[in-house]
Structure 1
Amino acid sequence: MAMESQMNINVCVEAENGGLHSKFDEDGRPKRTGTWMTGSAHIVTAVIGSGVLSLAWAMAQLGWIAGPIVLLIFSLITLFTSCLLTDCYRSPHPVHGTRNYTYMQIVKTNLGGVKYLVCGFAQYGNLIGISIGYIITASVSMVAIKRSQCFHKYGHDVGCHTSNNPFMIIFGIVEIVLSQIPNFHELSFLSILAAIMSFGYATIGIGLSIAKIAGGGNHVRTSLTGTTIGVDVTSSGKLWNTFQALGNIAFAYAFSTVIVEIQASKLMNSHDTLKSSPPENQAMKKAAFTGILITTTFYMSCGILGYAAFGNTAPGNFLTGFGFYEPFWLIDIESWSSKRWAKSDFVTKEHYISIPVFGIFRVNKFRVIWRILYVIVTTVIAMMLPFFNSILGLLGAASFWPLTVYFPVEMYISQAQMKRFSPSWVGLKLLSGLCLLVTLVAAAGSIQGIIAELKAYKPFQSVS
């Protein structure tokens, strides 16, 4: 309430001074200056993530025909539902309506409280899973560096197997330190750094694949249908791996949880989000098309060249390295707690500590304890279940239908007041139903993969 009051005061002052249009939008927030180009840059940053590392393996399960087709279908579905979601940014009218600043707020406005809670459960659960997945792959990345040094020193015939657990703990400690930075999600340079990293490791993966193909050496087997039954996998293994590959590709396109924040002002510096003219939904559709086109080009390159380089024996993680994800819902919970217990010094009081060179640092007891506990829990779970492809497949399956398809479709139907059983209504419902089926089989394949790996795995004893 205090923040809203201050915004209203700012608007009144600026209006009196004749400068309202220069500093504030109609909602009283700082005037946005972003364009479709900055929006597409944020989309590329959000989409190109750890999912790119599993695409060569996914392509190996599907083959030369189904692999590229499935990748293209997922990109088109994501683009279509993203456009539906952008039309719901303002309610009840996509151009003149009131702004909704988060994904969950849009769901609450258009679908009501029950589905709002379901959306929250799906979104928060997905972010917890992503945190676990990133810990797993970050540790594998660090182990890969150590193993490469071992291979260089002792030769490739030596196993050089190393436990993942110490590196998970190291990564967890780094997370604990970084998570204590106040307003971490508002550091604008993170988008630039993330974009460099996204393009960096995708380009490195493409370059390494081209180098491996050009270098010749051992012959790799590829086929139109992917891995061969009786040679590479069993018949049941082929089926489950195919399902799991769908989950891996779905995970690669999982960015719907932040598309609203890109369009609004939650995720990055508010001045860099889309300005009001032209209408945000028009600019965001153009940004989504550009961002997904660039992303799909990279994904196709990584998947196809990775499969050509490694063949049917493509590794689950063909690069072993990716960036950091800050779970933004942690900040949401902290904001809710500060309102719920506004008079509690433990929750709301900020302590200021002077650190040489770095200056004044704000510390809050609740924030410190809450974020440390979160990192510890996700790190322990990652140490218990360090299965890269299976975890990514399950995450992709869990997030694709509810967050990428179901809620955007249902909100668009509600906002457009679409008549039941009209051609458009039937078409959207059919799309949602088919995507639900894909999600279920992808989840089944990933869960089966986790179960199979657990049979031969001893907790806290993973090695690479």
Structure 2
Amino acid sequence: MGESAVAKQYCGPATAEVSSMELGHTAGSKCYDDDGRLKRTGTMWTASAHIITAVIGSGVLSLAWAIAQLGWVAGPAVMLLFSLVTYYTSALLADCYRSGDDCTGKRNYTYMDAVNANLKLTLPPPPPPPPVSSFRRAGGIKVQICGFLQYGNIVGVAIGYTIAASISMLAIKRANCFHVEGHGDPCNISSTPYMIVFGVAEIFFSQIPDFDQISWLSILAAVMSFTYSAIGLGLGVVQVVANGGVQGSLTGISVGAVAPLDKVWRSLQAFGDIAFAYSYSLILIEIQDTIRAPPPSESRVMRRATVVSVAVTTLFYMLCGCTGYAAFGDAAPGNLLTGFGFYEPFWLLDVANAAIVVHLVGAYQVYCQPLFAFVEKWAQRRWPKSRYVTAEVAVPLSLSLSGPAARCLRLNLFRLTWRTAFVVATTVVSMLLPFFNDVVGLLGALGFWPLTVYFPVEMYIVQKKVPRWSTRWVCLQLLSAACFVITVASAAGSVAGIVSDLKVYKPFVTTN
């Protein structure tokens, strides 16, 4: 049975996309949205779960270290600044989901679609003949740059999450080792086997076909993120009480404790760590595409979800980052729960690190789904008649093998091989560069300005026809320029940290 036939018979999650031409009058019916795709069922709460899963990730664990580099004054101030910028530009980006009217305009399914629909208008249109693809039209270079940055950043996030998950699994083993052997034992263990374990798990979960079917995984991951954040917060408070007061200083780690140049590099890297902790704009449009059709408009629902998510994450970030710094001062570890500032109770550390691993399994999928979909749609356009690319096999998940009640997993050979190859490749790269803090800082720096600030600002200016050199235009450009400077400086600091780590690291040999 063909894909469209399955959709017509069951009106369920058996197909990811059906064109309006195939459906005819059924488009916009109770089974399909106005664009001919199966009805979206997402709400503000599912969108918030996706965002929280993406945002309250491993980045929260490096915030105590980031504040230690900046101090009590600059650290919280920078964190609050990033939260405000992220919320503001996310609201601008949410308005770009539809071109034209908020409720009836043409949908932009991906970040690249939104850039193509808006920024190609900033240049003169191409001559009518000969017809060319949208990637080659006026504004196409911006679409290509956006795609390169978005999908390159997704690859980087996958590598970063693999590193973070392996460190947490390794931390469980080390916590038990310290409990048995004593805190003086080095308990050196290689992280490589744990990266392989995480990679195998991701190969399995990556076969979930699309965004609409991972809401349950996002909700579970969001619960896990609150779990380990709360444990880190509680352990920090206990440590502050045990210390008899708050540690740290107004300006962070002093120049005497580190070389002046190192102080500069570490401060810049801290900016990158904080930027990474708020990074989700690269998948915002894809999350918005899961929200049910108006009323209210998808952009309105997305703005509400952004308010809830950014407010919740900022509260957690402030509590966890500031409590960690208060507990350890300038000696705050790069990863609050795996840097072993805490040793006991070891079982609670095990619970927290297990929650991190479960969360990162879901976060990996939330981030990678847009890249998976992009490659698979490109392959379907390139080889529309290839059964290897287009055919799907229904694997029953229940004893009932027939009828509408049968629950099936749809397997596609191209999806199986391509996604497996992607997970294997990111796992291998993670084995070569297991530097949590430096990788996190670099990812945050590279993705922050272009994807979180530049493209949303430029699209807003085009959409709202903001006059050049008007007050609003100047303010938006100043915001973009300031964030660009922060991005370049943060990237430089993170690269300096990676270069320093590479001097002493031996691939597949070094233990943690």
Q: TM over 0.5: same fold?
A: yes
Q: Percent identity?
A: 51
Contact persistence 2:27–2:33 (CA under 8 A): no
Q: Secondary structure at the match of 2:302?
A: helix
Change (3 A) 1:392 1:358: farther
Q: Secondary structure at the match of 1:318?
A: coil
- Larger relative contact order (C-alpha < 8 A, sep ≥ 6)? 1
Contact persistence 2:273–2:441 (CA under 8 A): yes
Match of 1:438 among 471, 477, 486: 486
Contact persistence 1:39–1:274 (CA under 8 A): no
Alignment-derived partner of residue 131 in structure 1: 158
Alignment-derived partner of residue 252 in structure 2: 226
1:24-423 aligned within 5 A: 24-32=32-40, 34-112=42-120, 113-183=140-210, 186-216=213-243, 221-231=247-257, 233-265=258-290, 273-320=291-338, 321=353, 322=356, 323-324=360-361, 325-326=364-365, 327-328=368-369, 329-351=371-393, 362-423=410-471
Change (3 A) 1:304 1:179: same
Take 2:118 and 2:251, find their aligned partners in 1: how far apart are those partners? Answer: 43
Take 2:430 and 2:509, find their aligned partners in 1: how far apart are those partners? Answer: 12
Give me the TM-score of the superposition, normalised by structure 2: 0.82
Alignment-derived partner of residue 270 in structure 1: none
Q: Secondary structure at the match of 2:385?
A: coil
Most deviating of 299-308 and 336-345: 336-345
Take 1:220 and 1:118, find their aligned partners in 2: how far apart are those partners? Answer: 46
Q: Secondary structure at the match of 1:242?
A: helix
Give me the TM-score of the superposition, normalised by structure 1: 0.90
Q: Secondary structure at the match of 1:418?
A: coil
Alignment-derived partner of residue 269 in structure 1: none
Take 1:358 and 1:206, find their aligned partners in 2: how far apart are those partners? Answer: 47
Q: Secondary structure at the match of 1:146?
A: helix
Take 1:185 and 1:24, find their aligned partners in 2: how far apart are those partners? Answer: 14
Q: Secondary structure at the match of 1:226?
A: coil
Contact persistence 2:66–2:271 (CA under 8 A): yes
Change (3 A) 1:188 1:12: same
Contact persistence 1:135–1:382 (CA under 8 A): yes
User: Unpaired segments of 5 or more residues in structure 1?
Assistant: 266-272
Q: Secondary structure at the match of 2:444?
A: helix
Contact persistence 1:165–1:462 (CA under 8 A): no
Shift of 1:38: 4.4
Match of 2:25 among 4, 12, 22: 12
Q: Which amino acid in the other structure matches residue 274 of structure 2?
A: I
Contact persistence 1:244–1:442 (CA under 8 A): yes
Take 1:379 and 1:83, find their aligned partners in 2: how far apart are those partners? Answer: 34
Q: Which amino acid in the other structure matches residue 390 of structure 1?
A: D
Contact persistence 1:246–1:438 (CA under 8 A): yes
User: Unpaired segments of 5 or more residues in structure 2?
Assistant: 5-15, 121-139, 339-352, 402-407
Q: CA RMSD for the aligned pairs? A: 2.5
Most deviating of 420-429 and 33-42: 33-42
Matched pairs, number: 450
Shift of 1:4: 7.1
Q: Which amino acid in the other structure matches residue 382 of structure 2?
A: R
Change (3 A) 1:221 1:132: same
